């Protein structure tokens, strides 16, 4: 059995059909969330401490880390 596949771009969101603008936004947001997650893990800080450093509250950080928040990437800028 031969599987057909095609090589995608560097943006999976574009590859699955999002508009150029939306795909770029989603990619930026994904990368930002990965960096936030890495920061929390590597810092050894509690979520409350990490949230304070990021300028948000702990419940908001928890939502972001669990992917529950539909907020914009600008929240953390």
Establish if 23 belongs to a structural domain.
yes
Establish if 12 belongs to a structural domain.
no
Angle, helices 20-43/47-54, rounded to nearest 10 degrees:
130
Long-range CB contact pairs, 37-45, < 8 A, 24+:
37/65, 40/65
The stretch 40-50 carries a mean pLDDT of: 96
Establish if 56 belongs to a structural domain.
yes
Per the structure, the complete domain to which residue 45 belongs is given by 18-67
Number of domains within the chain: 1
Establish if 77 belongs to a structural domain.
no
**Between the CA of residue 46 and those of 21, 55, 58, 77, what are the distances in Å?**
35, 14, 9, 21
Rounded distance, CA 49 to CA 31, Å? 22
36: left (phi over 0), alpha (psi -120 to 50) or beta: alpha
Establish if 75 belongs to a structural domain.
no
Confidence of residue 3 (pLDDT cuts 50, 70, 90): confident
pLDDT of the residue at 1: 53
Establish if 44 belongs to a structural domain.
yes
Interval 10-36: pLDDT, tens: 999 999 999 999 999 999 999 999 999
């Amino acid at each position: 059995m031969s599987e057909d596949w095609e090589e995608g771009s560097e943006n999976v969101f574009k590859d699955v059909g999002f508009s150029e603008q939306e795909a770029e936004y989603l990619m930026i947001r994904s990368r930002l969330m990965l960096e936030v997650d890495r920061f929390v893990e590597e810092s050894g800080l509690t979520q409350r401490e990490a949230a304070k450093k990021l300028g948000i509250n702990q419940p908001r950080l928890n939502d972001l880390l669990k992917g529950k928040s539909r907020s914009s990437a600008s929240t953390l800028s």
